[in-house]
Amino acid sequence: MGRRTPHIPAGLTKSPAFWIILVIGITIYFFTKKAETKHENDTIGETSINISSIKEIAEWEFLTVQCEEFIDTTVKRMIADDRFARIYTGTIKLGMDMKKARKNWIVCRHDTAHIYLPKVEILDKDFIDEAQSRTFYESGKMSATIKNRMYSKAKREMKRRALTKQNIKTAEENAEAQFRYIFSNLGYKVIKIEMKR
Amino acid sequence: MSVSKSAKLYTVQYNVHKIVTYEDMTKLESSLFFEKISIPIPGDRKIALPIDATIKAYVDFGNFSKENILIEGEKITITLPDPQMELTSSKIDHKNEKEFLSWNRTRFKEKEKDEFLRQGISSILSGMKDTDIIERSRLSAYNALLPLFAAAGFSSENITMCFNEEIENSQHEERTIFNMFHKD
């Protein structure tokens, strides 16, 4: 069987509307074939920065743990599941909040300095830099609740990895070394350090 | 994960809030009969992303040595490096994220939002340079370290704390004044 060539009815070719539509169609075809969308602006709008609070603190940091956590989640849907994966970055600082130290935390007599230090802990309640975290994979739409749940999971995981006995011990040793160094430079020969654990 | 020892004294904490906004103005570009044609795509595609960030200023004791302490009789002078600031955390308020989309425009991808948020953080950090965070940090460092040197037997009027940048600036001022009078 031979291929049939498309046949345009003779009545249609005589209609001017046909030719107008054909020309518009060809023009649109060639225009969209080469067309590409271009963003006129890639920068964010100018908005102010509101300082919500200023606090005087006295926190010594003795160990820095930089963490990255890969968190993914799947939401079951009727047709296709939504998947979402994100890499969270955060910095956990192990150190001491000197506001938690006892009243006279340094007692010096003659050539001896007694230093009473508070316990080593995570200095920041929130340590994830969510704005610098990046999306690794996304299909579908993620709700705010799911994103907050992923953030909390990343926080838990980072804490678990960073708050090890070894890291706490290293931070404590470093704290001791730093205070010993300062007080030996102030001329103290005997430096006794007590730390809450 | 990377672990490193440090010796930093954080002295002041600023909690800031910013609404990162972006308005997508997209156009369709193509050529027809060797003529470049660009047609703006009608409709709105806007987003507002609220961020809460914490910025802390600190004095780095990493290179602190006996050269930084000068004891002259009952007087002590401590030279400290100038405070630096650091973004310690940022949190996006996902519940209050708002998108405004016309029927013909696509929703924002998470990867697009990541880029806007990165710009938002850069904008916060550059905006913080215009605040008094460094000055407050110097004052706060003095308050935090005063008990330490007072316990070591120095009375508060005999304790002087100066910062590297302040010294450099004053030296620069001295040089400028010196040059004004000794031009030839």
CA A84/CA A92 separation, integer angstroms: 25
Spatial CA neighbour of B76 closest among B142, B156, B139: B156
Which pLDDT belongs to residue B27?
A: 81
Q: Give the pLDDT confidence score for residue B181 in this predicted structure.
A: 45
A42-53 as b/e: b if 16+ CB within 10 A: eebeeeebeeee
Q: Compute and round to an integer the Cα radius of gyration of chain B.
A: 26
Per-residue model confidence as pLDDT tens digits over B95-104: 999 999 999 8
Q: Output the pLDDT for position A3.
A: 63
Question: What global pTM score does this model have?
Answer: 0.83
Q: Is the pLDDT of residue B165 over 90?
A: no
Q: What is the pLDDT of residue A192?
A: 94
In terms of CA atoms, which chain B residue is nearest residue A176? B7
Residue B137 lies in a domain: yes
- What are the beta bridge partners of residue B31? B36
Kindly report the average pLDDT of chain A as a whole number: 90
- Say yes or no for a CB contact (<8 Å) between B123 and A178: no
H/E element, A152: helix A144-162
**Best mutation site among A69, A97, A182, A191 for testing chain B: the one with the most B CBs within 10 Å?**
A182
Is A39 in CB contact (< 8 Å) with chain B?
yes
Domain ranges of chain A: 59-195
Please check the confidence at residue B85 and state whether its pLDDT lies above 80.
yes
- Could you tell me the maximum CA-CA distance found in chain B, to the nearest angstrom? 89
pLDDT for position B184: 41
- For Cα atoms B111, B114, B117, give the angle at the middle one, nearest 5 degrees: 155
Asked if residue B170 has pLDDT above 70, the reply is: no
Q: Structurally, how many domains does chain B consist of?
A: 1
Domain that holds residue B83: 8-181
Q: What is the mean pLDDT of chain B?
A: 87
pLDDT band (50, 70, 90) for residue B12 = very high
Residue A177 burial by Cβ neighbours in a 10 Å radius (0-12, 13-18, 19+): middle
Hey, which bits of B24-83 come out as E strands?
26-32, 35-40, 45-60, 69-72, 75-80
- Chain B residues in contact with A129 by the CB 8 A cut-off are 87, 89-90, 121
In order, the DSSP letters of B128-163 are: HTTSSHHHHHHHHHHHHHHHHHHHTT--GGGEEEEE
* Higher per-residue pLDDT: B53 or B165: B53
**Short-list A153, A163, A165, A169, CA closest to A124:** A163
What is the β-pairing status of strands A134-139 and A190-195?
unpaired
Indicate whether B30 belongs to any domain.
yes
Residue-wise pLDDT for B125-156, tens only, equals 999 999 999 999 999 999 999 988 998 889 98
Q: Is residue B117 part of a domain?
A: yes
pLDDT > 90 in chain B, percent: 62
Is the Cα dihedral B172, B173, B175, B180 positive or negative?
A: positive
How many other C-beta atoms can be found within 10 angstroms of the C-beta atom of residue A39? 11
Can you give the pLDDT at residue A123?
96
Examine the pLDDT at B177 and tell me if it is beyond 50: no
Task: Give just the sign of the alpha carbon dihedral A122, A126, A128, A131.
Answer: negative
Residue B1 to residue A65, Cβ atoms within 8 A: yes
Residues of chain A with pLDDT under 70: 1-4, 6
Contact residues on chain B for A185, CB-CB shorter than 8 A = 65-66, 69
Phi first, then psi, for residue B9 (nearest 5°) are: -110, 110
**pLDDT at residue B44, as a whole number:** 87
| Rounded CA separation B65/B72 (Å) | 17
Closest chain B residue to the Cα of A167, Cα to Cα:
B3
pLDDT surpassing 50 at residue B161: yes
Strand pairing partners for B100?
A: B46
- Does residue B1 form part of some domain? no
Per CB-CB distance under 8 Å, the chain A contacts of B89 are 90, 124, 126-130
Strands B84-92 and B26-32: what pairing? unpaired
Structural domain includes residue B143: yes
Cβ within 8 Å, pair B118-A131: yes
